[in-house]
Structure 1
């Protein structure tokens, strides 16, 4: 049984996650993005992924209304970018290198993978809104991922591949 929110959060922190920045465009065509580690694969056929956003997030209306978004999987040298997109900053994209992806949404330079999605399904789950996206375009690069564990960033220490 759960004793309190902090203990529950600490228990969840024992699971290693990747770190992403989810990006889209607002109604005026300005880039919007935020750090999220609540990302998961869902289906190969059709290709689908999911991520979640706090219901109280000021970015919620933008992502709810967006036709497309991109999930940018950060590389191990991008923890500063993760921090920037996790905090309130007037213009998170100022000085950040990115380009419009195949679906028109911001794709960040230097990531280890990116998934451009149609904003297919949204549903409330507790204090979060879960976004289920149908992947329309993706790319990946041979870069070490940024990971998060127990409230801090880490990089993988890979074991030898099985024979």
Structure 2
């Protein structure tokens, strides 16, 4: 095979977003499960609705499905990334008892139905075909469980994402004049938003403020969908349909626990950290910014833990399990359990850490957006200067 063509195919397919599915089976061959991103409907009009899954031939799930003649395709909900990691083998310490780590119940065929999945399709195996390195299994659904969860876990660009609402129809009613919808990057919210909103609300009590916390790319898409009027986030934005202005330059800091060997340093360089375990805030934009930072220095991070919760990141740092890098000096210098965290300036260029305000280009900012962004600039300026 052409090695370049193969590499381009793998890279191209990594950019194709897909719902995350855990395929399970149980029977005489045993109970197994595996995470896949290749599950698709075949037809709703066969004798029973049919679907197709693809599983690598080296996975023990393949032989188990063929012998058990049954499988259940559990499409995970947006809050089940742990389940995906569990059945993909990333959580190796749980490999011996994966089903013991989650809530599930046996379906009609006996295959495990994972509680909380968006939909679970319990199937009888009809066809198995080996193609290249994968088995293609076609099954017919005997029962279909629909949960209260409606938003699926999505995998794309080698990271978990969430579904974005479709833009409203053009004939939607105009937004009320006193309505203001603002988005914030997920970690900016707890630090700056409560005080910022309280101050703005005291000056403009008649304005109905709506807030959204999300990752950078999600904020952009929500803005394009017309659901927010402005976003406060990190990094450069080079999009023809968006305007971006600097709110606060980057001020990267390294988070360490109080007893760390580097705790007495007045500043740090990336070379001081490259061989040490890192704890990463696990969002696509943060991962991309971290990769760019290290690549400029010809280094690579040694990521030990990753979490989408900044509180978890701080907690792991406080326990001495690694360091983390934040784009601005944090206001909170303690972990959730009260342990002290040190924040030492990182002496590197980090343009991806600048705080920016993004608005749609060409629509004209409303009076309330202008006033809110002006208050953001003042608020971030005070925070940087140590005034609150």
TM-score by length of 1: 0.91
1:60 is matched with 62
Give the Cα–Cα distance (whole angstroms) in 2 for the partners of residues 81 and 17 of structure 1: 16
1:146 is matched with 153
Contact 1:101 1:116 (C-alpha < 8 Å) held by counterparts: yes
- What SS does the aligned partner of 1:94 have? helix
Contact 1:2 1:8 (C-alpha < 8 Å) held by counterparts: no
TM-score by length of 2: 0.40
Contact 1:26 1:32 (C-alpha < 8 Å) held by counterparts: no
* 5+ long unaligned stretches in structure 1: none
Where has structure 1 moved over 6 Å in runs of 4 or more? none
CA RMSD of superposed structures (Å) = 1.8
Matched, 1:106 2:112: yes
Q: Deviations over 1:54-104 (max 9, x none)?
A: 112233211221121100000000001100000051111112100111222
Shift, 1:138, TM fit:
0.6
- What SS does the aligned partner of 1:50 have? strand
* 5+ long unaligned stretches in structure 2: 172-388
Higher relative contact order (CA 8 A, sep 6+): 1
2:282 is matched with none
2:124 is matched with 118
Contact 2:103 2:115 (C-alpha < 8 Å) held by counterparts: yes
- What SS does the aligned partner of 1:83 have? helix
Instruction: Specify which structure has the higher proportion of strand.
Output: 1
Kindly name which structure, 1 or 2, has the bigger radius of gyration based on alpha carbons. Answer: 2
Matched, 1:70 2:69: no
Give the Cα–Cα distance (whole angstroms) in 2 for the partners of residues 57 and 6 of structure 1: 22
Shift, 1:160, TM fit:
3.5
1:158 is matched with 165
Contact 2:42 2:51 (C-alpha < 8 Å) held by counterparts: yes
Aligned length: 162
Give the Cα–Cα distance (whole angstroms) in 1 for the partners of residues 115 and 137 of structure 2: 23
Give the Cα–Cα distance (whole angstroms) in 1 for the partners of residues 150 and 13 of structure 2: 26
Shift, 1:7, TM fit:
2.3
Give the Cα–Cα distance (whole angstroms) in 1 for the partners of residues 167 and 144 of structure 2: 27
Aligned mate of 1:84, from 83, 86, 101: 86
Contact 2:27 2:111 (C-alpha < 8 Å) held by counterparts: no
Instruction: Specify which structure has the higher proportion of helix.
Output: 2
1:132 is matched with 138
Shift, 1:12, TM fit:
0.8
Shift, 1:10, TM fit:
0.9
2:26 is matched with 25
